Amino acid sequence: MRGPAGRTYRAWLMTRISLQRTLLACLCCATAAVTGCGASHPASQPGSGPSTAGGAASASPAGAATPRTTQASSAGGGSAVPSCESLTPLVTTALHTTTQLQHRQVNGPVTICLYSDAAGSSPLVRFQTGQSAAAYTSARARFDANGRPTTDLPGLGDAAYTSAGNAVAAPSVVVLKGTTELLVTSAGSLADCKAVATAILPAL
């Protein structure tokens, strides 16, 4: 594509790529705050991509690129968890725009799903089974210690909090439901994170 239209398209494409890279960097920050970069869950380490379990049919439109998958380990997951594909329509409904699953990663009890959407908010969903209230409280303390003050979010799960974004991290919502901890982060707004968390929580 040549001329002004071609330059506009290339500028748009580079912006989308930049947003994806920024969100992946934000994932490292958010996940590090939740897990404390512990060695017990490699899927949570900076540099690992996101992922999912299960073989549900893809909700991506025909002709869309196949989402990239990283399957580090299936051991230690415990109870059944939803697949990233099965959560795609819920994310779409929450954001009122079409979303596609771009990447999924499963490592034991940790599942990470990275989506793309027309608005460029690139929501990311991470859930981990086998979590205790003490682990949830410790993870929240790490958010605060890392310069990302948290605020209680009543009405979601057994306990929940928000963390506003800053120059190096996107806004996030973290929810504890039973022994499953859910993290939603987005390059969009905190309201987007709340909407996605509310939509997919019943599936966990």
Domain edges within the chain: 3-203
Cα–Cα distance for residue pair 188/191, rounded to 1 Å: 8
Tell me if 186 sits within 8 A of 194, measured CB to CB: no
- Mean pLDDT across 26-31: 49
Q: Return the percentage of the chain with pLDDT > 90, whole number.
A: 49
- pLDDT of 146 over the 80 cut: yes
What mean pLDDT do residues 79-92 have? 88
Widest distance between CA atoms in the chain: 58
pLDDT-above-70 percentage for the chain: 61
Going by pLDDT thresholds of 50, 70 and 90, the confidence category of residue 81 is confident
Find the mean pLDDT for residues 136-158.
93
The answer to whether residue 35 scores a pLDDT higher than 80 is no
* pLDDT number for residue 144: 92
- What CA–CA distance (Å, rounded) separates 51 from 113? 5
Distance of alpha carbon 204 from alpha carbon 160, whole angstroms: 15
Measured distance CA(165)–CA(171) in Å, rounded = 4
Please tell me the pTM assigned to this model: 0.66
Question: 99: part of which helix (H) or strand (E)?
Answer: strand 99-107
- 101, amino acid identity: L
Which residues have CB under 8 Å from 8's CB, separation 6+?
A: none
Taking residues 151-168, report their average pLDDT: 91
pLDDT at residue 56 is higher than 60: no
Q: At 37, is the secondary structure helix, strand, or coil?
A: coil
Average pLDDT score over residue span 47-69: 39
